[in-house]
Amino acid sequence: MAYPLLHIAGDRTETLEPKRNARSSADRIRPLIEWTTLKVSGKPRVYGSILKINRLHRGSVESAVTSFPMAVMYGESDYTLTLLYLLNDDLIRASEFSVKDFERAAWGISRIGSRESVISVESVELGKGRIMEKEIAETAYAFPLTGKKVQGNGVVQGVIDWKEGIGNYSKARIMVMFYPEGKVKVEGRLRVIDVGEEVVL
């Protein structure tokens, strides 16, 4: 999201403070995004040649040593990723950007993932949501697993906590995310937001 958003702003900077603790300029956008998550269509499968190598040479350390935080969806079906960005109106208003800028930027997301595969955004929708407290919810969107009970299938992965900063991944905290396959039932102390007919934790 940062790349098209900064393009709209006419800012070509991609590295902040190059001399010490170089960071990605995506860090400029990070405080404006409250939360981001995604859901996947179809049946994802974790696959990767690096995983195969690790399986052969290092036993079952697979997901811990790869930067591959979620499932692969190559295939004959038209699999899609749905990304969700939760923005805070007040923060956006106080920033140099507008919600419209974010909407246009969403159409311009061109790369995603650790090796930045080329993608195309097929649809963008804007909506208002209200955060609520719940103890049980059903969701198809990925969520942090800690402190929750899950009924259903999915993929568990340790991923970088982007809220701690973008770029300095060697020292960043890892959070455990659950990527559901279809919808799953979750129990715990949940903060949820309705998105159309769906729920995001």
Partner 1 sequence: MFLSVGVRFEANVEALNMVETAGNYTKHRRVPYLVEEDGKLKTVYVPAISGESLAHAYQWSLVKEALGMNLPVCEDCAKGEFFKSMNKAHLKKKIDPIPDDSKKIEATIIKSCVIEDVGGFLYAEKPPVRRSSAFQVSYALPIKSMALFATAEPQLHARHAQMDAKGKKGNVSEQMIYYVETGTALYGFTFNLDLDAIGVSSLGAGPIVPEEEIRARREASLKALFRMLSSAQFGAKLSRFFPVGGITELTVVVTEHPFVVTSPIYDSYIERTKKRLEVIKEAFREEYFFDSTNEVPEEVLRKAIEYLKEKGYV
Q: Is residue 32 within 8 Å of 25, Cβ to Cβ?
A: no
Dihedral sign for Cα 187, 129, 87, 70, please: positive
Does 164 help bind partner 1 (rule: CB under 8 A)?
no
Question: Site map for partner 1, 42-81, x if CB under 8 A?
Answer: -x-x-x------------------------xxxxxxx---
Range in contact with partner 1 (rule: CB under 8 A) among 6-14, 27-35, 135-143, 144-152: 6-14
Q: How is residue 200 written in tokens?
A: 């995001």
List the beta bridge partners of residue 15. Answer: 24
* Sheet with 143-144, side-by-side order of all strands: 143-144, 174-180, 154-160
Out of 38, 81, 119, 160, point to the residue binding partner 1 (CB under 8 A): 119
Tell me the window of 83-91, 113-121, 168-176, 180-188 that interacts with partner 1 (CB under 8 A).
113-121
Asked if 28 and 9 touch (Cβ cutoff 8 Å), the reply is no
Q: Is 3 in the site for partner 1 (CB under 8 A)?
A: yes
DSSP 45: B
* Residues 1 and 106: beta-carbon distance below 8 Å: yes
Q: Work out which of 86, 109, 150, 175 binds partner 1, going by CB under 8 A.
A: 109
CB of 121 to partner 1, least distance (A): 7
| C-alpha span between 28 and 43 (Å, rounded) | 35
How is residue 42 written in tokens? 């179809």
Nearer to partner 1, 125 or 187 (CB): 125
Which stretches of the chain bind partner 1, using CB under 8 A? Answer: 3-4, 7-8, 11-15, 18-19, 22, 43, 45, 47, 72-78, 100, 103-105, 107-111, 116-122, 124
